Amino acid sequence: MTARLSRATLTGALPRPDVRGPALVPARTGVVHLGLGAFHRAHQAVLTEDAAAVTGDDRWGVLGVTQRSPRVVEQLAPQDGLYGVLTLDTDRSDLRVVGALREAVFPGTGTPRVLTTVADPGTHVVTLTVTEKGYRLDPHGRADVADEQVRADLAALRDASDEAARSATGLLVRALDRRRRADAGPLTVVCCDNLTGNGALLARVVDDLLVAAGADDLRAWVAESVRFPSTMVDRIVPATTAAHRERARALLGLTDEALVVGESFTQWVIEDAFAGPRPAWELAGATLTRAVEPYERAKLRLLNATHSLLAYAGALRGHATIAEAVTDPELHAWAVAFTDADVLPTLDSPDGADLVAYRDSVLRRFANPATGHTTVQVAMDGSAKLPQRVLGTVRDRLAAGAVPEHAALVVAAWMAYVRAACAGDLVVTGRTVPLDDPLADELATAAAGPLTGLADRLLGVEAVFGQDLRDHHAFRSAVTAALRTLTR
Ligand SMILES: NC(=O)c1ccc[n+]([C@@H]2O[C@H](COP(=O)([O-])OP(=O)(O)OC[C@H]3O[C@@H](n4cnc5c(N)ncnc54)[C@H](O)[C@@H]3O)[C@@H](O)[C@H]2O)c1
Ligand SMILES: O=P(O)(O)OC[C@@H](O)[C@@H](O)[C@H](O)[C@H](O)CO
């Protein structure tokens, strides 16, 4: 049996061709990360380690917090926090072992540890990747303070209790409270989720929670001492499979249960608005700028929206992966037409970038067959993703007096996907795919019934479309027509 990756076994396993060891092993914890999924491990943790290695600054170890299950903690603990990042390109693959994670905890058992670490003066940054739905937004993009789990965290905030956190945003405000009480100094909270204006959005969510909790002193401290820079994050990081683990085992000669995989492309654009010290991420390739929004908007509307189109329409055609979907000539043409007609007119070019070239490079990245990114993974949580990826484009086009027929096709593809998944009719490579969405029950109710009226019923889901799009006659007609074409 192959030995498990750990500090002890890694020493004996290296050197090996196509494998790199940790660039630097941090001596202290300077970053707390909420949402220790695959993406953080393949993106921010890697850039944090690289930045620290350039300067030899060993303050920037990460305490990672899983959110919903202890699985990642259980994978990492026997490996001393070490894990591999397997980079998969069309023509090459390589592995690096990352040592940036000093500790991983699950809030179910480790909430006190998270609270004391955020309250430590050596911690300067909190990062988040808790998915779109993890922010628990109401239909107006504000914190849903009626959410039962958020309310439990707000009660724990008022009592300054150590009880297990129930929500990521609740854990964050409780940790901010501990830092204020400990007088541990300013803090920067960096949202790394695919959300429009993610920094300002998170600042608003935190403020909403503090208003709901009546935490006036904390609210004043946050306004003065905490910064929420916006970021654009990009690297395609699909879920790890058994085949990926086997490939990494062959390269490293050790078993790695915490392996993550990704393409070689990585981009991180960060608003240069920090409250205190930070890793020198710019030395590892990140862009620090005052103007993140054009990058973020271009990425969400060109990359992520097209990803979603290919996921919904691709899965409906039985394509298992995004690479298969984007190389389907008809779907490729839809993606180009959608971005040309509806997305590009809504964008400002970030720092003079050629957005058509950017769109083309994105489609080439999607065509990389090596990552095996599945349509079903990208399709999940559509009710939380569509507003971020597509509906901003729709609103901007309508405001400009245009009817966004191609964007309506993306919305219709999502509706057809929802209907097929709820009816048990969505079959991808022989497997029936259920609807995986935080609003699954509400969507299933709206999707049931005759095809006629389906667009109206789903447009009536206010948490997704708001009242404005539900009631917009021209948009409703465009979606209805697109759905008719698709289902035909
Ligand atoms: N994977 C990528 O290619 C990629 C690229 C850019 C940005 N991102 C961003 O990172 C996010 C996470 O991606 P990932 O690949 O790590 O996914 P993942 O499934 O591996 O991990 C998701 C993390 O979010 C937590 N989470 C899920 N639902 C939650 C909820 N309701 N409340 C609180 N926490 C919750 C999970 O516990 C887990 O820690 C994405 O949603 C996206 O916003 C991902
Ligand atoms: O990670 P999600 O589920 O929010 O979205 C799926 C993909 O569209 C997304 O992860 C992209 O791969 C990523 O945004 C590329 O940087």
Tell me the C-alpha distance between 339 and 350, whole Å: 16
**Any ligand 1 atom below 6 A from CB of 339:** no
Biggest distance spanned by C-alpha atoms of the chain: 67
* Predicted confidence (pLDDT) per residue in 401-457, tens digit: 999 999 999 999 999 999 999 999 999 999 999 999 999 999 999 999 999 999 999
Burial of residue 483 (CB within 10 Å: 0-12, 13-18, 19+) is buried
Q: How far is the CA of 454 from the centre of ligand 1 (A)?
A: 30
| Predicted structure pTM score | 0.97
* Residue range 236-267, pLDDT digits in tens: 999 999 999 999 999 999 999 999 999 999 99
Ligand having the closest approach to the CA of 172:
1
Number of the ligand 1 atom closest to the C-alpha atom of 34: 39
**How far apart are the CA of 129 and the centre of ligand 2, in A?**
11
Read off the amino acid at residue 399: A
Of 123, 83, 86, 88, nearest in space to 100 by CA:
83
Instruction: Tell me what pLDDT residue 382 has.
Output: 98
Mutation choice for ligand 2 from 40, 43, 129, 194, CB with most ligand atoms inside 8 A: 194
- The answer to whether the CB of 307 is under 6 A from ligand 2 is yes
Domains of the chain: 7-289 (3.40.50.720), 293-487 (1.10.1040.10)
- For the CA of 265, the nearest ligand: 2
For 64, list phi and psi in degrees, rounded to 5: -100, 140
Nearest CA to ligand 1 atom 2: 237
Mean pLDDT on 138-143: 89
pLDDT band at 140 (very low <50, low <70, confident <90, very high): confident
Q: What is the DSSP letter of 227?
A: E
Please tell me the residue having the least CA distance from ligand 2 atom 7: 378
Give residue 132 CA to ligand 1 midpoint distance, Å: 8
Question: Does the beta carbon of 235 sit less than 6 angstroms from any atom of ligand 2?
Answer: yes
